[in-house]
Structure 1
Amino acid sequence: MDVRSERAAPGSRVLLRATKYDGTAHWIQPFRVVADDGNLLVTSYRARTPIYTSRGEFRSPYDSVVYFWRDRWYNVFRLSRPGCPTALWYCNVTTPPTFDGCQIGYVDLDLDVKVYPTGCIELLDEDEFEAHREKYGYPDDLVARARAAAEEVAQLARERRFPFSCGPEPMRNRSSHRTL
């Protein structure tokens, strides 16, 4: 079965099963499908619904709309408080996702990009990426793809391109943290 050709029906429920590079479970989260055009799978998640992580159960205070492109090395969570506008975008650098009709799967590659509507863009977890690069033996091409994905998603945010197209102020890099 070619999992890239499977499409999810709007309104259906799907389960995300993310792993680390060695195959260990990292993140399990339920979503409701908003749309699926065969490449971009858009899902949603309600605040306070349990998420199961390698560190235990977590309940996000945010409602989320999540964008999974089947041909990109990242996904984007648009987070908002219930009844409020976008609080931030959280972008996970991952392998391109698979979808089998019921489950979304990908390998989490540690790097994350956080984008605020004010324009602050932060690269997160570089230390974890470097530690896992050594521990799991990330191949050079995977390292290059992960770094390129972090830069690509940051560039989309800087240019206010989809899905970073809302916010109260012009996007600009403003941060005391490592920015892209």
Structure 2
Amino acid sequence: MVAPEPGKKIEIQSYKHNGNLHRIWESSLVLKGTESIVIGANDRTTVTESDGRKWITREPAICYFHSKYWFNIIGMIRQDGIHYYCNIGSPFVYDEEALKYIDYDLDVKVFPDMTYTLLDEDEYEEHKQLMNYPHVLDRILKQNLSHLLRWIHQREGPFAPDFIDNWYERYLTYR
């Protein structure tokens, strides 16, 4: 697999299990790009929904994607601290067009004090039936959700102290 180079601006595309485009983040700056990890940053980037609606992100964010894990993590830098939005989704793939992954509905919202809320469980159950997620996929997604929650509890990966701040400082050197 090709990896995006640091300093390059890329588009991020999320899809649904049935192959339909779900959401596009227009421009994220690659801070680290390897075959297994992509760390990007954006601030006030345009997001396009599948129905064509557009909105602009409100704050700087550091995005973490891994080719092994079935989740990605967005650390949003706000006045009251770092808020995280975690998507349960397929490992990323990158081609020259964009970084791409499949969004599997389940999300975890993590607050600055590291408490969290699991979101969209009913949407996941609905899409699991509608799109016929195989049992093995359901098991993989639930195992990765458990792995993500362990990272939150143990403050590993992007939840480690200073992870987001350090990558944000690197992002500022490109501006």
Normalising by structure 2, report the TM-score: 0.86
| Inter-partner Cα distance in structure 2 for 1:98 and 1:15 | 12
C-alpha root-mean-square deviation of aligned residues, in Å?
1.5
What is the deviation of 1:38?
A: 2.3
2:80 and 2:112 in contact (8 A); partners too: no
Q: 2:92 maps to which residue?
A: 97
Q: Residue 153 of structure 1: which of 148, 153, 172 is its match?
A: 148
1:86 and 1:166 in contact (8 A); partners too: no
Write the deviation string for residues 93-127 of structure 1: whole angstroms up to 9, x where unpaired.
Answer: 00111101341111110001111121212111000
| 1:44 paired to 2:41 | yes
Q: When you count helix as a share of all residues, which structure comes out higher? A: 2
Structure 2 counterparts to residues 67-106 of structure 1, below 5 A? 67-81=64-78, 84=79, 86-106=81-101
Runs (4 or more) in structure 1 with deviation over 3 Å come to none
Q: Residue 8 of structure 1: which of 4, 29, 34 is its match?
A: 4
What is the deviation of 1:132?
A: 0.2
| Inter-partner Cα distance in structure 2 for 1:164 and 1:131 | 30
Q: Residue 24 of structure 1: which of 8, 20, 26 is its match?
A: 20
Normalising by structure 1, report the TM-score: 0.83
Q: Amino acid of the residue matched to residue 125 of structure 2?
A: E
Q: Amino acid of the residue matched to residue 21 of structure 2?
A: A
1:110 and 1:129 in contact (8 A); partners too: yes
Q: Give the gaps of 5 or more residues in structure 2.
A: 163-175
Q: 1:108 maps to which residue?
A: 103
Q: Give the gaps of 5 or more residues in structure 1.
A: 168-180
SS of the residue corresponding to residue 159 of structure 2 reads coil
SS of the residue corresponding to residue 126 of structure 2 reads helix
